[in-house]
Amino acid sequence: MKFLRLIVLVVALAEFTQPASAQEWTRFRGPNGTGISHAKTIPTNIAASDINWKVELPGVGHSSPVLWGERIFLTSTGDDAGGLSVLCLNAADGKTVWRRDFPLAPFTRHKLNSFASATPSVTASAVYVVWNEPEHYFLAALDHSGATIWQRDFGAFVSQHACGTSPIVVGDKIILGGEQDGQEFVPGSERSGKSFIVAVDAKTGDTVWQTDRHSVVVAYSTPCIREAADGKQSLIFNSQAHGIYAVDPDTGNVLWEYDQAFKKRSVSSPFIAGNIIFGSCGSGGGGNYVVAIKAGDSLASGKPELAYEMKKSAPYVPTGVAVGDLAWFWSDAGILTCVHAPTGEIRFQERVGGNFFGSPVWVDGRLFCVSTTGELEVVEAGDKFKVLHRFPLEELCHTTPAIAGGRMYVRTEKHLISIGGEKAARP
């Protein structure tokens, strides 16, 4: 009995003594969705010798990888054949540890989307995965061995494009957005989407709170956490229906809204630079623009106000990144803009080239972003434009890189690639 108690104690302690690298990239765009890594072992001038491994994945997908320790989690799909696979790979060699398959009947989606577009979120004990069918919006928790802990179905998910919003973990809760089209844009169909945001208990899947939202047009924005000057936290969401808004993570109460922010669909996710919150909107036909708001210093009295807008060469799908007083916006058409975040002053706006759906990440003073044709671009993260390197991955890519344990992981449509590490010190 004493021996068993000792084992239980060791296992319990293990969850609280994971190395820092275990928690580097646990959600879409890494820590709090910032897209920031301080890894020193990702080379600028990437060469073939810096590729640790490249493995073929079953099926295809546009979701990004997440990591816990030496385990990588991501999703894949048979696409036209349907089905969703949750994969666990070994970060050291890319070998598959386990695979779980879930039924998914193919349905009409946007040709540039995938049934495996939502990025998982992971903790020390579980990985949380989202997928949908027109009549079902699923959220499931699996343990690190691939066994199902719980699964929820939130009902219909109404959209022209299929799913794309990723779950996040906040304390002991899983937060998921569900803002949908007001009507199904399918001839002969008049279904209305019931929009909401929801928090469920991470251990049981039971609803902690659910907040109804207006249904205007689907939002694919994944929320982040903002901490006010008074130390209180809020969830920041973007959508056309409600603009940029803040929610109490404990109760689901809406704290404030800047509801006039967007006139078009919000696909990119919010990110924060000091007291400025950024969001963007747009469409496949253009009209994209960035909105920057000031949210105030207190959650209780901090009414949001417009700081400025950026309407030239703004991103629609990619999410920007901010470090210090600088923010960078990487447009779908390959225009990189550097902005002085507090004032909106444009420091440069230059063409990198290519087309992009993945978002840039900041790694030790450089920006990394992958084009739709698989060219990994490396640009200096400063207020002067300088392309440092281009490395061809030579495959369709709609994803954002993940960085953990000193290595970068890039998911192309059909492969996962590991780059850098201790042997690849920055030149």
Domains and CATH numbers, the chain: 23-419 (2.130.10.10)
55 pLDDT higher than 90:
yes
DSSP 8-state assignment for residue 114: -
Which range has the worst mean pLDDT, 139-143, 155-159, 215-219? 155-159
Distance CA 98, CA 274 (A): 41
* Lookup: tokens for 171: 């304390």
Q: What percent of the chain has pLDDT over 90?
A: 74
| Cβ contact 79:63 at 8 Å | no
pLDDT of residue 300: 55
119 pLDDT higher than 90:
yes
Count of other CB atoms within 10 angstroms of residue 229: 11
Confidence band, pLDDT 50/70/90 cuts, at residue 193: low
Distance CA 312, CA 307 (A): 16
pLDDT of residue 417: 98
Average confidence score pLDDT of the chain: 88
Distance CA 269, CA 379 (A): 21
| Cβ contact 206:200 at 8 Å | yes
pLDDT of residue 147: 98
Residue entry with tokens 């994969």: 87
Give backbone dihedrals phi and psi of 3, rounded to 5 degrees, phi first.
Answer: -65, -45
